[in-house]
Amino acid sequence: MDYYSIATILIVLSAGFGYINEKFLKLPITIGLMVITIVFTVVLVGIAQFDDTLLVQEREFIALIDFETVLLDIMLSFLLFAGALHTNFNQLKVQRWPIMAFATVGVLVSTFLVGIAMFYVLKLMGLNVDFIYCLLFGALISPTDPIAVLGILKKAGAPKKLETKIVGESLFNDGVGVVVFLTIFAIAAKPDAAIEFSDIATLFGQEVIGGIILGLFLGWVTYRLMRSIDSYEIEVILTLASVMGGTMLAHKFHLSAPLAMVTAGLIVGNDTVRNSAMSETTELYVDKFWELVDVLLNTILFVMIGMEMLVLTLDGKYIYAGLLAIPLILVCRYISLWLPIKFFEKRLDFVPKTNLIMTWGGLRGGISIALALSLTKDMHRELFLVITYVVVVVSIVGQGLTVGPIIKRLTKKIV
């Protein structure tokens, strides 16, 4: 099957499931599509008890999709740029230090806490997994997913300064989380090789700092080009070229494409650039174009996540480990956020119960699944893939459906 046929099937399914959700369920798009796709898959499994033709065809179709490459190397850049483009830059500037602390210190602390906790939990279950692989799982599950978070928060009615923290952290900890994962992956792949701290620091610095610098450059060039003309068609294409060309450059020079796209999106989307480089018509078309890209890729992504259920090794012990991992991950996230919140809360006037809301509102999504799919067999890929899938589904459906009411209840006295 060629790429066009695969893309066509995914878009047709996304359109159909999206229509069902909008017409009948009326859930946030990420949750609705996840639920409908899982139900669709379960129905196919049920039909397969009598005739497995459709099930076999769907499994063959899923096998043709390189989920890891499609999400991490292609879709993620578009989604992060679109998310950053519509983020309140002024609020983000005010909250920049706690957001950076959440996205760096928070991710690192959570990675180690989750790794340590899972090492002992798996050992108690009779699953002997080396600590380095548990740490690898901690790295892939610690970053929150902006793709899942953004759509839900828009309807939750959270105070702006709280929404900015959650969205800002999710946008930046993606890039940092992927770099942390790749660093630990490099160590785990060559356990006998001597890896110096300087090598790790160099890799981390090149990916993170290099990605941000590339994003600053892309944003500045896009701004200068848009300012010099007044043509909404060409200006929309310029933003698209910035994302696609920037992603290619990031991959070529081993820089963090997610961080580059977040940085570029924040620059192009901030009010100063909008007022000086975009006419009202251009601003309208740029926003609507990227909103459409965001919705389209979101629908495809969550349909793919739901369909991935068919490639899992649904061992009872693996599922149980996944259920045990859910409260552990939430506790580790709460602890990892505690120190940055305590440090900044007085000077920045945090919303009460910020830690609790950010812990419950930190959803996991497709990025965690994509990273789990990149594990090798020696790294206990099947075990950690099932655990990750269980955590992601419960996170998106369970936390996603309740985070809005929780935010409204805990912040109802705040204007």
Of 370, 361, 358, 371, the closest CA to residue 395 belongs to: 361
* Residue 349 zone, left/alpha/beta (φ > 0; ψ -120 to 50; rest): left
Residue 305 inside a domain? The answer is yes
Task: Give dist(CA 115, CA 141) in Å, integer.
Answer: 10
In a domain, 339, yes or no: yes
Q: What are phi and psi of 157, to 5 degrees?
A: 70, 35
Is the same domain home to 117 and 178? yes
Half-sphere exposure of 131 (CA within 13 A, CB side): 5
Give the C-alpha separation, 155 to 267, whole Å: 25
63-72: string of b/e by CB count within 10 Å (b at 16+)? Answer: eebebeebbb
Contact 31, 152 (CB under 8 A): yes
Q: Does 415 map to a domain? A: no
Question: Does any domain span residue 375?
Answer: yes
pLDDT at 415: 47
The answer as to whether 268 is a domain residue is yes
Structure tokens of 356? Answer: 């609790």
- Indicate whether 260 and 369 sit together in one domain: yes
Domain encompassing residue 146: 68-410
How far is 250 from 304, CA to CA, in rounded Å? Answer: 25
Judgement on whether residues 170 and 155 belong to the same structural domain of the protein = yes
Mark whether 166 and 180 lie in a shared domain: yes
Residues 25 and 158 in one domain: no
What local confidence, expressed as pLDDT, does residue 94 receive?
A: 86
Backbone angles phi, psi at 127, to 5 degrees: -105, 105
Asked if residue 392 and residue 313 are part of one domain, the reply reads yes
* Shared domain check, 143 and 59: no
108 and 197 in a single domain? The answer is yes
pLDDT the model gives residue 30: 83
Domain contains 388? yes
By C-alpha distance, which of 89, 99, 76, 95 is closest to 268? 89
CA distance 135 to 119: 8
Q: What CATH number corresponds to the domain at position 277?
A: 1.20.1530.20
Total domain count, the chain? 2
Whether residue 37 sits in one domain with residue 157 = no
**46 plus 98 within the same structural domain:** no
Q: What is the CA radius of gyration of the chain?
A: 21
pLDDT score recorded for residue 350: 84
Q: How confident is the model at residue 142, as a pLDDT?
A: 95
In a domain, 245, yes or no: yes
State pLDDT tens for residues 363-375.
Answer: 998 899 999 999 9
Q: Please tell me whether residues 335 and 260 are part of one structural domain.
A: yes
User: Do residue 16 and residue 31 come from a single domain?
Assistant: yes
pLDDT at position 404 is 82
Q: Which residues of the chain have pLDDT under 70?
A: 147-157, 192-197, 413-415
211 domain residue, yes or no = yes
Q: What is the pLDDT of residues 52-109, one digit of tens each?
A: 899 999 899 998 999 999 999 999 999 999 989 988 888 888 888 999 999 999 999 9
Q: How far is CA 1 from CA 9, 71, 75, 82, 299, in A?
A: 11, 19, 21, 30, 22
